Amino acid sequence: MKRAVHIQIDSYAEEQHIVQQAHGDLYKKGEHYYLRYDETEPEMQGTVTTIKLERERIRVVRNGSVRSEQEFAVGRPCQGVYETPQGRMGLETHTHAMQYDWIDGLGTVEWSYDLFVMGDAAGTYRLRFLIREA
């Protein structure tokens, strides 16, 4: 069953903290939850993000003006890709921690990771999603 949700996305990188708000859908398929929403940032206009939330792994897929796939799993590097009209770049994530504080898909999901783009360190990031009934 699909539920309308409000999502607050807190992104932390170095000394920077960005807060985004989005409306989307949350649904359960098998043992996993899926969160889908339209990106709100101007450079991501027309992009739909789908996040597959598993206990040991998180997968983020974007389709639209930007296409990307990223995977996060504590203890192992994960390969991904980022595509724009200008070209395609290989991504790799090294996830430090992943934490769920939720009931039936509502609540918070948080993870931190190092990102490598085309083999070069791009920074350390932390994402926190607060998912509430709309």
Please determine, for residue 45, whether its predicted confidence score (pLDDT) is greater than 90: no
pLDDT, position 14? 86
> CA 20, CA 28: separation in Å to the nearest integer?
24
**Mean pLDDT of the 47-59 span:** 96
pLDDT, position 11? 96
Identify the sign of the CA torsion 8, 60, 94, 121: negative
pLDDT, tens digit (0-9, with 9 covering 90-100), for 58-98: 999 999 988 999 999 999 999 999 997 788 999 999 999 99
Q: Delineate the domains of the chain, giving CATH numbers in brackets.
A: 3-133 (2.40.128.20)
Give the Cα-Cα-Cα angle 47, 50, 53 (nearest 5 degrees).
Answer: 155
pTM (predicted TM-score): 0.93
pLDDT, position 79? 98
Class of residue 31 by CB neighbours under 10 A (exposed 0-12, middle 13-18, buried 19+) = exposed
**Mean pLDDT of the 38-61 span:** 92
* Strand 78-84 versus strand 32-38 pairing type: unpaired
Q: How confident is the model at residue 43 (pLDDT cuts 50, 70, 90)?
A: confident
The beta strand positions in the chain, using DSSP E, are 3-13, 16-29, 32-38, 48-53, 58-63, 67-72, 78-84, 87-103, 106-117, 120-133
